[in-house]
A and B are shown apart, each in its own frame.
Chain A
Amino acid sequence: MKILVGIKRVVDYAVKVRVSKGTVDLANVKQSMNPFCEIAVEEAVRLKESKNASEVVALSIGPKQCTETIRTALAMGCDRGIHIQTDLRTDYMDLQPFAIAQLFQKIVEKEKSDLVLLGKQGIDSDCGQTGPMLAGMMGWPQVTFAAKVEVKDGGLLVERETDSGTETIQVKSLPAVVTCDLRLNEPRYATLPNIMKAKKKPVETLKAEEMGVDLVPHNQVLEILEPPPRKEGIMVENVDSLIDKLRNEAQVI
């Protein structure tokens, strides 16, 4: 089984983003691998370690610095990297999931991947669309929000968490697209020797503009706003007054 993992470079989860001039300010902001993509990488590497996968290729689309993101994935255990380079923003401002999914499609076709593992969403734009769009374009089965993945009878048994409980889905055969949720696994840290070894693993660089894909966004971002500041809370005297306020003022119980 050949696995392709998508790794998106996003503003680090710990960074408090600044909005300026109608967009998220990316200047001098720490960026790192999208946490859901880390989970996808971990799952792919585990599938390789359990001999279910023969090769894991990591694909990142974005600026020059994506090579660092790719190196992290290689240090975690991926075999090769592919970097589709572009100076267009990938946080929905320029490149949008429709174009990203098409770029993925090109690579999937070239690499003859059997399984595409992606994060369930990027923590920058929170779209969660790339996986489903890619599956649609390929005409492949898809499972989103995977919380457990098991290789079974040439296909996959995938558990996904839904609001009403755990849903178990059997993907009868590969190829397929799976997007990874938070509880799927706990990603390993890249160790120092592996960070150094990752430097020697091959990374292919392509240009987004030369992939034969229309990169023009179809949706326009009108405005980006900071979340409104939380209103100050109040102290209640005792439990009775709390219940009273919840019942009569907030009307939630």
Chain B
Amino acid sequence: MTFQSVVLKAARARCFSSHLQLARATSSCRCSLSTSASDDLATRHAVAPLHAPVTALTEDESMIRDVARQWANDGLRPVVRKMDREGSLDPDILSSLFAQGFMGMEIPPEHGGSGLSFTSACLVVEEISRVDPSVAILVDIHNTLTNNAIRFWGSESLRNTWLPRLATDTVSSFCLSEAESGSDAFALKTTAIPTSSSEYVLNGTKLWISNAAQAGVFLVFANANPAAGYKGITAFMVDAKTEGISVGPPESKLGLRASSTCPITFDDVKVTTDDILGQVGMGYKYCINILNEGRIGIACQQIGIAKGCLDIVMPYLKERQQFGRAIADFQGVQFQVAMAATELHAAEVMTYNACRLKEANLPFVKEASMAKLYSSKVSEKVASLTIELLGGIGFTQDLLAEKFYRDCKVGSIYEGTSNMQLQTIAKLLFADFK
């Protein structure tokens, strides 16, 4: 009888082990080759379900999620705390994001992207968020807002110019909010005044612009005809090197500290008609459309946070002993995590369903708002509970729970505050009952 148990120290900080002991004899007895387990499997496979469950992933989706998970754990996790403390993004992380293909997820291969589906891109956001939501927001905004806006409405020349760069080396920002226009986004004051038949001049200040410190290009919403109100709003792709642009210092924030959030001033910045995204005066429409689907990405970020919290707290509950036993043995603890997992599952089902509705070209706006609203509430609740269940250590920076607790809060503010989601849901709800 031989016992084998090999434990190896692995590269990539992996631990492989064959948790097995095989007891073998060298007789030449025949084993029965068809087991009943594989028969069961065969019958189960024979009945094709009418609908795949929303949480069941396709082969593409699960491979992509696995790669993102592995990268986040091996490549990102080691620097998360440092980046939070220093309040800045590690440049190596940024180049790795490009190298892995995370910055051009839905950009087609002919433009240097990965050609993924929307759902796959959302799954990547979720997996990165599970380790660091501040890196996830960079990936999310870049992919779901700017890249997609250019894919959907950009002229051929804008697509040819920017998509290959966005996929391989250029970070983008989405510049909508201003000091006096947050929820009331289309009250924006930045102007784009035509100075000739082919030139416009931008003036104004944007606020809260994510990725601004790293960005090589800004998608700027400005009013080209203030007299026409929101119908003057026009979107421009503006090279960050253009004269007259100044990016202010990043805000010092509660959470997402590694993600830069800066004011940007446009002072007589010259742009041309070639830089216009789509048509003049259609900026508000593009904006509404892209944020409608973009907020599904935020919902994924929030789900990622809640899962990241459970990743921390669940093993701890089994390890931590009080009153002579693991605290996981107390029903009071069990019921709290059971409730948290239930709410997380609801948020996940809502969010994945919103992804799938969008991909199926079915109405999804109400469901996307619901998913974002609900998942941001769930992430906050799960992060808070996680800290409580960890006890004193949860309140310290020894674990990432306190960071998740800080990072999740903005989920109910950006890409439409919770009240704005409720407004959208209510509007569409009443329309259903007209």
Stretch at the interface among A53-61, A163-171, A223-231: A223-231
Closest to A94 in B: B33
- A221-B17 in contact (CB<8A): no
Assembled-state Cα–Cα distance A221/B71 (Å)? 38
Task: For A217, list chain B residues within 8 Å (CB).
Answer: 30-31
Expressed in whole angstroms, the Cα–Cα distance for A27 and B23 within the complex equals 22
Contacts of A137 in B (CB 8 A): none
Per-residue interface assignment for chain B, residues 96 to 124, with 1 indicating a CB less than 8 Å from any chain A CB and 0 otherwise:
00011110110001000111100000001
Complex partner residue of B116 from A182, A187, A196, A215, CB under 8 angstroms: A196
Residues 6-29 of B contacting A (Cβ, < 8 Å) = 6, 8-12, 14-29
The yes or no answer to A190 lying at the interface (CB within 8 A) is yes
**Residues of chain B with a CB closer than 8 A to A32's CB:** 66
Measured between beta carbons, the chain B residues less than 8 angstroms from A124 are 18, 20
Residues on B lying within 8 angstroms of A by beta carbon are 4-6, 8-12, 14-31, 33-35, 37-38, 42, 59-60, 63-64, 66-67, 70-71, 99-102, 104-105, 109, 113-116, 124
Closest to A197 in B: B109
The answer to whether A92 and B22 have CB atoms under 8 Å apart is yes
Q: How far is the CA of A17 from the CA of B20 in the complex (A)?
A: 8
CB of A87 within 8 A of CB of B24, answer: no
Contact of A191 among B11, B14, B60, B99 (CB under 8 A): B99
Chain B residue with minimal CB distance to A27? B37
Cα distance, A186 to B12, chains bound together (Å) = 7
- On whether the beta carbons of B67 and A190 are closer than 8 Å, the reply is yes
Q: Which residue of A lies closest to B36 (CB)?
A: A21
Report if A140 contacts B (CB, 8 A): no
Question: How many residues of A sit at the interface, in one of the four size bands?
Answer: 35 or more
Given known A-B contacts A93-B31, A186-B11, A217-B31, A225 and B23 have beta carbons under 8 A apart? yes
* Pairs of residues from A and B, 10 with the lowest C-beta to C-beta distance, nearest first: A192-B101, A192-B114, A220-B29, A13-B16, A191-B101, A193-B114, A223-B23, A126-B4, A193-B101, A186-B11
Which residues from B are CB-within-8-Å of A13?
10, 14-17
Contact of A71 among B24, B63, B109 (CB under 8 A): B63
From known contacts A35-B10, A87-B38, A189-B71, infer whether A220 and B27 are also in contact, taking CB-CB under 8 Å: yes
* Alpha-carbon distance A14/B24, docked complex (angstroms): 25
Please determine whether B24 and A221 come into contact, CB atoms closer than 8 angstroms. yes
- Is the pair B100, A224 in contact by a Cβ cutoff of 8 Å? no
| B105 adjacent to A221 (CB under 8 Å) | no
Contacts of B63 in A (CB 8 A): 68, 71-72, 75, 190, 195
A183 within 8 A of B: yes
Give Cα distance in the complex from A126 to B124, angstroms: 33
With A182-B11, A192-B116, A217-B30 already in contact, the answer to whether A227 and B5 are too (CB < 8 A) is yes
Contact A220 B31 (CB under 8 A): yes
Which residues in window 85-136 of A have CB below 8 A to B? 87-89, 92-94, 121, 123-126
Assembled-state Cα–Cα distance A27/B25 (Å): 26
**CA distance in complex: A89, B41 (Å):** 13
CB distance from B168 to the nearest CB of A (A): 10
- Complex formed: what's the CA distance from A190 to B64 in Å? 9
CA–CA, A75 and B18, complex, Å: 26
Contact A224 B38 (CB under 8 A): no
Given contacts A126-B6, A126-B22, A189-B71, 16 further A-B contacts (CB under 8 A): A13-B15, A26-B37, A35-B14, A75-B63, A94-B31, A124-B18, A126-B4, A191-B101, A192-B124, A193-B104, A193-B109, A193-B113, A193-B114, A195-B64, A195-B114, A196-B115
List residues of chain B with CB within 8 A of the CB of A68.
Answer: 59, 63
- 20 pairs from A and B in contact (CB 8 Å cutoff): A13-B17, A14-B15, A35-B16, A68-B63, A71-B63, A88-B33, A121-B6, A125-B18, A186-B11, A191-B101, A192-B116, A193-B101, A193-B104, A195-B114, A196-B116, A199-B60, A220-B28, A220-B29, A222-B24, A224-B22
Residues A196 and B11 in contact, CB atoms below 8 Å apart: no
- A219:B25 contact, CB within 8 angstroms: yes
Question: Which residue of A is nearest B5, CB measured?
Answer: A227
- Is A123 a contact of B18 with CB atoms below 8 Å? yes
Known: A27-B37, A68-B63, A93-B31. A196 touches B114 (CB 8 A): yes
Is the pair A192, B6 in contact by a Cβ cutoff of 8 Å? no
